[in-house]
Chains A and B, each alone.
Chain A
Amino acid sequence: MINYILNLLTLATIYSIAAASLNVLVGYAGIFSIAHAIFFGLGAYAGAQFALLIVPDVLLASLIGAVVSGALSLLLALPALRVRGEYFVAAGLGLQMVGITIFSEAHSLTGGHGGLVGIPAATLFGFDVSSPGAFLIVCLVALLLSLAVIQILMRSSFGRALMSIRDNESAAESFGKNVPLLKTLAMVVGCAIVGVAGTLFAFNLAFINVESFTLEQSILMLAMVVIGGVGTLSGPLIGAVFLLILPAILTFIPFIPPTEIGTVQQFIYGSLMAVLMIFKPSGIAGKTGGK
Chain B
Amino acid sequence: MSNVLLSVRGLSKNFGGLAAVQSVDMDLQEGVVTALAGPNGAGKTTIFNLMTGNLVASAGDVLLHGKSIIGKKPHRIAQMGIARSFQDLRLFTHMSVRDNVLVAVEPESWFWQPGGKAAWHKRLETVEKALERTGLSAMADKRAVDLSYAETKFLSLARILATGSKIWLLDEPASGLDLNSRNRFINILREATADGVTICLIEHNLDVMTQLADRIAFLDQGKKLAEDVPEKVLRDPELIAIYFGKSQSGN
Chain A interfacial positions (CB closer than 8 Å to B) = 153, 156-158, 160-161, 163-164, 166-168, 170-179, 181-182, 185, 231, 287, 289-291
Of all chain A residues, the one with the shortest Cβ separation from B94 is A167
Q: Is the CB of B92 within 8 A of A167?
A: yes
Contact with A along B104-144 (1 / 0, CB 8 A): 10111111110000000000000000000000000000010
Alpha-carbon distance A288/B159, docked complex (angstroms): 25
150-169 of chain B: CB within 8 A of chain A = 159, 163
Given A161-B103, A170-B74, A176-B78, A185 contacting B95 (CB threshold 8 A): no
Q: Is the CB of A164 within 8 A of B103?
A: yes
B231 lies within 8 A of chain A by Cβ: no
Main SS of chain B's interface residues? loop
Give every chain B residue within 8 A of A166 (Cβ-Cβ).
94
Q: How far is the CB of A251 from chain B (nearest CB, A)?
A: 39
Q: Is the CB of A290 within 8 A of B94?
A: yes
Given A173-B75, A174-B84, A157 contacting B92 (CB threshold 8 A): no
The number of chain B residues with a CB under 8 A from chain A is: 33
Alpha-carbon distance A123/B92, docked complex (angstroms): 46
Total inter-chain residue pairs, C-beta < 8 Å: 95
Given A157-B108, A185-B110, A289-B146, A174 contacting B78 (CB threshold 8 A): yes
Alpha-carbon distance A185/B106, docked complex (angstroms): 17
Q: Is the CB of A168 within 8 A of B92?
A: yes
Beyond the given A173-B74, A176-B75, A177-B75, could you list 18 further A-B residue pairs with CB under 8 A, ordered by the A residue number?
Answer: A156-B111, A156-B112, A157-B106, A158-B110, A160-B106, A161-B103, A167-B94, A171-B86, A171-B92, A173-B54, A174-B86, A175-B103, A176-B107, A181-B110, A185-B111, A287-B143, A290-B94, A291-B145
Given A158-B111, A161-B109, A176-B75, A167 contacting B93 (CB threshold 8 A): yes
Q: How far is the CB of A76 from chain B (nearest CB, A)?
A: 21
Of all chain B residues, the one with the shortest Cβ separation from A167 is B92
Give every chain A residue within 8 A of B92 (Cβ-Cβ).
163-164, 167-168, 171-172
Give every chain B residue within 8 A of A163 (Cβ-Cβ).
92, 94-95, 99
Give every chain B residue within 8 A of A164 (Cβ-Cβ).
92, 95, 103
Q: Is the CB of B107 within 8 A of A171?
A: no
Q: How far is the CB of B81 from chain A (nearest CB, A)?
A: 10
A-B contact pairs, 23 of them (CB 8 A): A153-B111, A157-B108, A158-B111, A164-B95, A164-B103, A167-B92, A167-B93, A168-B90, A168-B91, A168-B93, A171-B91, A172-B92, A174-B83, A175-B103, A176-B79, A178-B109, A179-B75, A185-B110, A231-B94, A287-B143, A289-B146, A290-B94, A291-B145
Ordered nearest first, which 5 A-B pairs have the shortest CB separation? A171-B90, A167-B92, A178-B109, A173-B74, A176-B78
Give every chain A residue within 8 A of B78 (Cβ-Cβ).
173-176
Q: How far is the CB of B72 from chain A (nearest CB, A)?
A: 12
Of all chain B residues, the one with the shortest Cβ separation from A152 is B111
Q: Is the CB of B102 within 8 A of A160?
A: yes
